[in-house]
Amino acid sequence: MDEIEEDEPRDNHYNSKITRLNCNPTDIFGRHYLCPTTRPANLDRCLGNCELASTVMIFGCLAVLVVVLYFWWKKTTRDASLPPGPTTVPFLGNLLSVNPETMLDKFQKYRKKYGDVFSLVTGSKTIVVVSGYDTLREIFIKHGDVSSARPDIFITREVGKFKGIANASGALWKEHRTFTLNALREFGFGKRSFESKIIEELEAFVQEIHSKKGQSFNVHNLLNVCISNIMCSINFGKRYDHGDLDFCRLLDSVNQNLTNENVMLVATVLPFVRYIPGDPCRIKNLLANIEIAESHFRQLVKEHEQTFDENDLRDFIDVFLKRMKSEQNNPNTTFDEDQLVKIIHELFVAGTETTATALRWFCLFMIRYPKVQEKMRKEVYDVIGTSRFPRLEDKPSLPYCEAVIHETLRVGAIGPFSIPHGLSRDLHYNGFIIPKDALLIQNLYSSFFDEKIFPDPNAFKPERFLDEKGSLQNTEKVLVFSLGRRMCPGEVLARMELFLFVTLIIQRFKLEPADINNVPPEKGVMGVTHAPLDFLMKAIEIISTPPPQSEDSFTVFV
Ligand code: HEM
C-alpha cells in the first residue's frame, strides 16, 4: 500500500478541505491515510474519488438495507400457501401473538376464527398450530410419518445437540426411543420393582408431611424432590436424602432452567437475543445449568462403568452400558456416552417436572373442592381401609379416584402445547402447505376445553369420566400425554406415580387451604409446564403415620 512520506509538506488546501469534511487527514506520523492510494499531488482527484466512494458507499448501504428490509418484510408476511392466521404486522409478523402469558386464550380465539390449523409468521420461524381432537389425530397419527420429527430450533440444536430422544429425529430417535422403552419395560414399567421404588419415596413423603404437624406449607419443593428421587432410582439406582448437597445442586440447576420460564420460546422466535451482551434473557445461564446437570450425570456414568457387572443390571445406566459394550466393535454405533447422558438428563427432567406439577394441581383442586376430596376418601376407605398403603392392584376398584386424576390432568393442562414437532417434508393439508421447516405446535389445550367433548369444560367435574354404572369413560380423550409416534414414553410410570400419591394423600391427610378466607385461585402460569401459582396448604393427619419399615406398607413389595 502506498503511503505519504513523512517529510512531505502538508497541503493547506488539503487540510482545510478535510476539516470541512470533518475528517482527520493524517495519522501521528503525518501520513495521509484518508485516501492511502493517492498522493497529495493528486489531492483534488483523491477528494473527488473519496466523495464518490462515500456516496457509492452510502447508496450501497442503502441498497443492502432496502434488500434486507424487503426480505424481512417478506418473511414477516404470510405466504398465500400457508394455513390462514391473524393479520401480520409489517416487520413483526405475528410475533406479538406468541406471548406465553396470553397464548392459551389467544390460540382458542384463533382456532374459532381461522380453523383447526392456523399459522403464525414470526420472521425467523413459521409456526403452525394444530387444534381439536380430530384434527390432532389426523395430523399426528394419520400423517405421523411426516409430522413426528423435531424442528431445528434453539432447544434441539443448542441444548439437545439433536441427541437423546426428545431432541432427536429420524433413525437415531427411533432406535433410542425403542431401546429406552424396552429397557424401562424390562426393568420394571408396570411391575412391582417400580412400584416398590415409588412406595419407598411415598414413605419419605408421608414422614415429611407428618413433620409439618398440620402447619401450613408449600408442597412444591417436597413433591419435586420425591418425584425426581423416583427418576434417580430408576436411572442411577439410588435415591438421595432430601438434604444431600449434590442432589440439591442438581435440582437447583434443573429448577433454575425450568423457572427461567420462556427462555426457550424467546430463543426460538428471536434467535439473535443470545448474542446480546450481559445475558439479559439468561440463555448463557441456561446453558451453564445444563452443563452442571450433565457433568453430574457423566460422573454417575463413570462410577457405573467401574462397578459394572453384566449379570447384575441395577438400573437404566447399566442396561445402556451393556448395549454399549455389545456394540463396541461397531463403527456406526449410536450407543455412546454422550447419548446416554442426554437420555438420562431428559428422563430426569421430563419425568420430574410434569408429574410433580400434576400433583400440585391435584392438591390445589382438593383444597378448592372438599366434597370431591370426601368422595375420594370414602372410596379409598371402602376398598382399602386404613391399615395399609394403596397398591397398584387397587386401581380397577377405585374408578372415582381415577376419574379425579383424569380431571386433574385435563383442567390442570400440564403440557398444553406439548413439545414442538417438526416435519420431514412439506405437508399438504386442506389446500394449504405446511412447509418442511415450520414449527408444528400441538394445541392439546384445545381438546381439554372443547365443550363438544367435555360439556361445561371450565368446571372441575370428575363425574364426567364415569358412566351410569360408575365405570370409567372417555379417558382416552384427555390427550395430556400427546398422541402418535412421539407420545410420552413415560405415561405408564406417570400414571403409577399419580395413582399411588393421590390415593395415599387422600387416605392419610385432609387437605385444607392455609387461610380459609383466601382459597388459592385456579390460575396457572405458563413456563416449561402449565403450573399453578405457588400456594400454601395444610395437611391434617387423619391416620397416624406408620413407621418407615412398617409391615403394612412397602415391605410387601420389596
Ligand atoms: C404427568 C406426567 C407427564 C406428562 C403430562 C407428560 C407429557 C408429555 C408430552 C405432552 C410429551 C410430548 C410428546 C410429543 O412430542 O408429541 C412428552 C414427551 C416425553 N416424555 Fe412425558 N409426560 C409425563 C411424564 C413423563 C415421565 C414420568 C417420563 C419419564 C419416564 C417422561 C418422558 C418423556 C420423554 C423422554 C418424552 C420425549 C418423547 C419423544 O420425543 O419421543 N414423561 N411427555
| Per-residue pLDDT of the chain in tens (558 residues, 90 and over written 9) | 343 344 444 444 444 444 444 444 444 444 444 444 545 566 677 667 778 888 888 888 888 888 877 777 777 889 999 999 999 988 788 888 888 888 999 999 999 999 999 999 988 889 999 999 999 999 999 999 999 999 999 889 989 999 999 999 999 999 999 999 999 887 766 566 789 889 999 999 999 999 999 999 999 999 999 999 999 998 888 888 888 888 888 888 887 777 655 677 777 777 777 788 877 778 888 888 899 999 999 999 999 999 999 999 889 999 999 999 999 999 999 999 999 999 999 999 999 989 999 999 999 999 999 999 999 999 999 999 998 999 999 999 999 999 999 999 999 999 999 999 999 999 999 999 999 999 999 999 999 999 999 999 999 999 999 999 999 999 999 999 999 999 999 999 999 999 999 999 999 999 999 999 999 999 898 887 899 999 999 999 998 755 444 444 333 222
CB atoms inside a 10 Å sphere around CB 201: 22
What pLDDT is stored for residue 60 in this prediction? 87
489 CA distance to ligand 1 middle (Å): 6
Query: Hey, whose CA ends up nearest to atom 18 of ligand 1?
Result: 488
Extract the annotated binding site. 488
Pairwise CA distance, residues 356 & 365, whole Å: 14
Following DSSP, what letter does each residue of 77-141 receive, concatenated? Answer: S--TTSPP-SPPBTTTBTGGG--TTTHHHHHHHHHHHH-SEEEEE-SS-EEEEEESHHHHHIIII
Pairwise CA distance, residues 270 & 268, whole Å: 6
Beta bridge partners of 121: 126
Q: 17: which residues sit within 8 A by CB, 6+ positions away?
A: 43, 47
CA distances to 143, 230, 389, 477 from 132, in Å = 15, 34, 39, 11
348 lines ligand 1 (CB under 6 A): no
Question: Cell 469534511 appears where?
Answer: 21
494 lines ligand 1 (CB under 6 A): yes
Pairwise CA distance, residues 330 & 489, whole Å: 27
Closest atom, ligand 1, to C-alpha of 167: 40
Q: 426 near 147, Cβ under 8 Å?
A: no
What residue ranges in 65-158 does DSSP mark as E strands?
Answer: 117-121, 126-131
CA distances to 205, 421, 433 from 442, in Å = 34, 8, 17
CA distances to 103, 399, 416, 444, 484 from 116, in Å = 15, 33, 15, 12, 18
CA distances to 128, 148, 485 from 139, in Å = 11, 10, 11
353 lines ligand 1 (CB under 6 A): no
Q: 125 near 153, Cβ under 8 Å?
A: yes
Beta bridge partners of 118: 129
Amino acid at 140: F
486 CA distance to ligand 1 middle (Å): 8
Q: What one-character DSSP code corresponds to residue 149?
A: B
Q: 389 near 202, Cβ under 8 Å?
A: yes
Pairwise CA distance, residues 416 & 233, whole Å: 28
Beta bridge partners of 194: none
Amino acid at 69: L
408 lines ligand 1 (CB under 6 A): no
What pLDDT is stored for residue 41 in this prediction? 60
Pairing of strands 537-541, 509-513: antiparallel
Q: Please, where are the H alpha helices in 162-282?
A: 170-187, 192-211, 220-236, 245-259, 263-269
Q: Please calculate the CA angle 350-351-352 and round it to the nearest 5 degrees.
A: 95
Query: Hey, whose CA ends up nearest to atom 1 of ligand 1?
Result: 355
Which of 181, 354, 530 to mutate for ligand 1's pocket (most ligand atoms within 8 Å of CB)?
A: 354
346 CA distance to ligand 1 middle (Å): 9
What pLDDT is stored for residue 557 in this prediction? 26
Pairwise CA distance, residues 558 & 551, whole Å: 11
Question: Cell 409478523 appears where?
Answer: 93
ipTM of the complex: 0.99
Query: Hey, whose CA ends up nearest to atom 30 of ligand 1?
Result: 490
480 CA distance to ligand 1 middle (Å): 9
Q: What one-character DSSP code corresponds to residue 95?
A: G
358 lines ligand 1 (CB under 6 A): yes
489 lines ligand 1 (CB under 6 A): yes
Instruction: Please name which of 497, 541, 535, 480 lies closest in space to residue 360, comparing C-alpha atoms.
Output: 535
